[in-house]
């Protein structure tokens, strides 16, 4: 443990029992709850006083507040944090609040126009929010054209863009630019300039979903994204290039590609949902060893589901890729539950490439195992909850009748239920993987200082708090049609920046979310790297 962490731990431990003798009235008093703080491993029944958006007292003394929450029999934990929730619409955020998510960011994908995205979220967002700049949208803008990308400024608009790009490419007798075109030097410079502008505008890093662009993004281009992010000291995140269990392109190779870049650059790298790469038994220890034994600024994610959710045209579903993963057509399903066959595979990938689908590529028996692996954080990879036409639901829409992957609604409650039923890890560890460990990595490895006061139940920490019943908390969302957005239960109170956002399991229409963002820079840093791609394409 370094000196900085030792001092922080000492202060945190000493502040956990601050007396409330000089502050009798708080904005909110949470009484008689089992306070669990993952950084210090504190676990005890205490009263928590909150004022001006901060935790100001944790005490055995009696306290009062303008609002009182009786937390007897409940855990009082840090608000859950996630860097892999794609949904940014109000209804999807509402569903995630029922699951205890108080800081919601998208590091795998991201946004194209960062300034616009943050401006549109300001004052209208219930949870804390943050975003990386998305290389895919930059590629689409340059290689497919602005008319294809129009209206697609984050993941919610990305899938419709996929359909437009495919239609335009077919009409012009070429492959879609964003996924399958190798850019020349001029094009790559334009792509990089868009990414650079996003970083200049305060993006948290660069999202590089190279697994969707396996034939369009060279190793050189991938390295350049990571190099540019490293010039700002920011995170690169990726759905790594390969998923599978068979040589020569199994999942571990895809992780190694970006891990090697990160270690050479001494740059932060977050590996997306390592369970989906299917080599999780090897890639998780690989990432952990790089961080703990070599000092690399790297970490990885997992989520508690055996199926993934993605777009029908993904490179993951080429027939050669399916063979690598040892899956076949029937392991793919539409959201209405219909399993594919070869005819449906050909039809959907050609005629509806932007359709959201499910891929059942992992064993359910392994979920508890990868969730308990040390060092990983828990994410959902949740998508926007949209109707069949790709339209968002209004904030006050009913939870029933929504056909989406259940991870969009129930990830954290499922983890807590698994701890109770499967006993695959201690409750404190599960809470840490969903809160403190995120904050620790984003701060110490990713340089995002706002996380120094998140992921903790300590005096001085942000009052992002989840109150849940460990004996009853459960997920209710399922793969069944119409059941994907059913909210979690057993989480009656959620606070964001000291504001009660979920009260008695009802989401309140309040918007206390704050931006997680770097300061806007006066000048970009594209001029600090060189762009000299070598493209072996006779058509260029």
The SS3 of residue 117 is helix
- From the CB of residue 213, how many other CB atoms can be counted at a distance below 10 Å? 24
Chain length of the chain: 540
List beta partners, residue 149.
none
**For residue 16, what pLDDT is reported?**
46
The answer to whether position 255 is within a domain reads yes
Kind of pairing between the strands at 499-503 and 80-82 = unpaired
User: For 60-97, b where at least 16 C-beta lie within 10 A, e where not — what string?
Assistant: eeebebeeebebeebbbbbbbbbbbbbbbbbbbbbbbb
Would you say residue 114 lies in a domain?
A: yes
pLDDT tens-digit map of 65-119: 999 999 999 999 999 999 999 999 999 999 999 999 999 999 999 999 999 999 9
Those residues of the chain that have pLDDT short of 50 are 1, 3, 6-7, 9-23
| CB-count burial class (<10 Å; 0-12, 13-18, 19+) for 505 | middle
**Residue 319 CB neighbour total at 10 angstroms:** 11
Residue 36 lies in a domain: no
> Closest Cα partner for 89 from 407, 398, 393?
393
Distance, CA of 254 to CA of 210 (rounded, Å): 9
The domain in which residue 86 lies consists of 80-306+361-448+519-526
CATH number, domain of 95, equals: 3.20.20.140
Q: What is the dihedral of CA 382, 388, 391, 397, to 10 degrees?
A: -80
441, part of any domain: yes
Count the helices and strands in the chain (H runs, E runs): 17, 21
Query: What pLDDT does residue 21 have?
Result: 37
Please check whether residue 203 lies inside any domain of the structure.
yes
Structure tokens at 165: 């790009």
Contact 26, 61 (CB under 8 A): no
DSSP for 440-466 reads HHHHHTT--GGGGGSS--STTSB--EE
Cα–Cα dist 171/179, whole Å = 16
Tally of structural domains, the chain: 1
Q: pLDDT tens digits for 400-425?
A: 999 999 999 999 999 999 999 999 99
Does 317 reside within a domain? no
Contact predicate 117/202, CB 8 Å: no
307: tokens are 């199926």
Whole-structure pTM value: 0.94
- Please say whether the dihedral angle defined by the alpha carbons of residues 325, 328, 334 and 337, taken in this order, is positive or negative: negative
Say if CB 199 and CB 524 are below 8 A apart: yes
Find out whether 450 and 464 touch, Cβ atoms under 8 Å: no
Q: Is residue 344 part of a domain?
A: no
pLDDT of residue 254: 87
Query: Hey, what are 80's tokens?
Result: 């859950």
Q: Per the domain annotation, does 286 fall within a domain?
A: yes
CA distance 519 to 199: 10
Q: Which residue has the tokens 């009052």?
A: 463
Q: 4 CB contacts (<8 Å, ≥6 apart)? A: none
Check if the beta carbon of residue 305 is closer than 8 Å to that of residue 407.
yes
Q: Where are the alpha helices (DSSP H) in 98-176?
A: 114-121, 135-143, 146-149, 155-171
Q: Beta 128-134 vs 298-302: how paired, if at all?
A: unpaired
Residue 151 pLDDT: 85
d(C-alpha 398, C-alpha 476), whole Å: 14
Q: At 276, which helix (H) or strand (E)? A: none
Q: Where are the alpha helices (DSSP H) in 104-247?
A: 114-121, 135-143, 146-149, 155-171, 177-180, 185-200, 219-231
pLDDT in tens, 457-467: 999 999 999 99
Structure tokens at 56: 């100001």
Instruction: Report residue 135 as tokens.
Output: 């290389």
Q: Apex CA 133: angle with CA 127 and CA 135, to 5°?
A: 140
């Amino acid at each position: 443990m370094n000196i900085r962490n030792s001092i922080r731990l000492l202060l945190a431990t000493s502040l956990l029992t601050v007396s409330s003798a000089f502050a009798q009235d708080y904005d909110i008093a949470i009484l008689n709850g089992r306070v669990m703080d993952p950084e210090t491993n504190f676990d005890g029944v205490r009263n928590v006083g909150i004022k001006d958006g901060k935790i100001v007292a944790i005490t055995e003394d009696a306290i009062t507040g303008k609002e009182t929450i009786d937390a007897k029999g409940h855990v009082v934990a840090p608000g859950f944090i996630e860097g892999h929730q794609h949904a940014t619409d109000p209804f999807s955020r509402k569903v995630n609040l029922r699951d205890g998510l108080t800081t919601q960011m998208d590091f795998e994908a991201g946004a194209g126009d960062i300034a616009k995205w943050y401006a549109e979220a300001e004052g209208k967002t219930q949870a804390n929010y943050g975003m990386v700049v998305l290389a895919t949208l930059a590629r689409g803008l340059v290689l497919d054209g602005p008319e294809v990308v129009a209206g697609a400024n984050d993941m919610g608009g990305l899938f419709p863009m996929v359909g437009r790009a495919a239609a335009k490419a077919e009409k012009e007798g070429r492959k879609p630019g964003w996924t399958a075109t190798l850019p020349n030097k001029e094009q790559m410079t334009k792509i990089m300039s868009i990414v650079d502008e996003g970083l200049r505008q305060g993006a948290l890093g660069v999202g590089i979903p190279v697994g969707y662009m396996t034939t369009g993004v060279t190793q050189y281009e991938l390295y350049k994204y990571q190099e540019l992010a490293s010039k700002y000291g920011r995170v690169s995140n990726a759905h790594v290039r390969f998923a599978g269990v068979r040589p020569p392109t199994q999942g571990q190779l895809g992780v190694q590609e970006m891990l090697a870049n990160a270690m050479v650059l001494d740059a932060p790298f977050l590996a997306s949902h390592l369970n989906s790469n299917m080599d999780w038994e090897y890639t998780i220890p690989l990432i952990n060893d790089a961080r703990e034994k070599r000092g690399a600024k790297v970490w990885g994610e997992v989520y508690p589901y055996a199926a993934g959710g993605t777009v029908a045209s993904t490179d993951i579903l080429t027939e050669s890729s399916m063979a690598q993963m040892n899956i076949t057509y029937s392991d793919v399903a539409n959201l209405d539950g219909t399993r594919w066959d070869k005819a449906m595979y050909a039809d959907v990938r050609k005629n509806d490439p932007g359709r959201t689908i499910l891929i059942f590529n992992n064993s359910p028996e392994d979920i508890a195992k990868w969730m308990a692996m040390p060092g990983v954080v828990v994410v959902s990879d949740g998508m926007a909850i949209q109707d069949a036409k790709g339209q968002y639901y209004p904030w006050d829409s009913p939870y029933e009748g929504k056909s989406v992957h259940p991870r969009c609604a129930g990830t954290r409650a499922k983890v807590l239920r698994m701890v109770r039923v499967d006993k695959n890890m201690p409750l404190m560890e599960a809470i840490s993987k969903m809160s403190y460990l995120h904050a620790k990595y984003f701060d110490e490895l990713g340089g995002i200082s706002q996380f120094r006061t998140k992921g903790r139940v300590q005096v001085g920490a942000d009052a992002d708090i989840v109150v849940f019943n460990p004996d009853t908390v459960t997920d209710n969302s399922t793969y069944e049609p119409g059941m994907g957005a059913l909210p979690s239960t057993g989480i009656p109170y959620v606070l964001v920046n000291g504001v009660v956002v979920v009260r008695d399991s009802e989401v309140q229409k309040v918007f206390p979310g704050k931006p997680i963002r770097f300061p806007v820079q006066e000048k970009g840093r594209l001029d600090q790297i060189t762009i000299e791609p070598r493209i072996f394409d006779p058509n260029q």
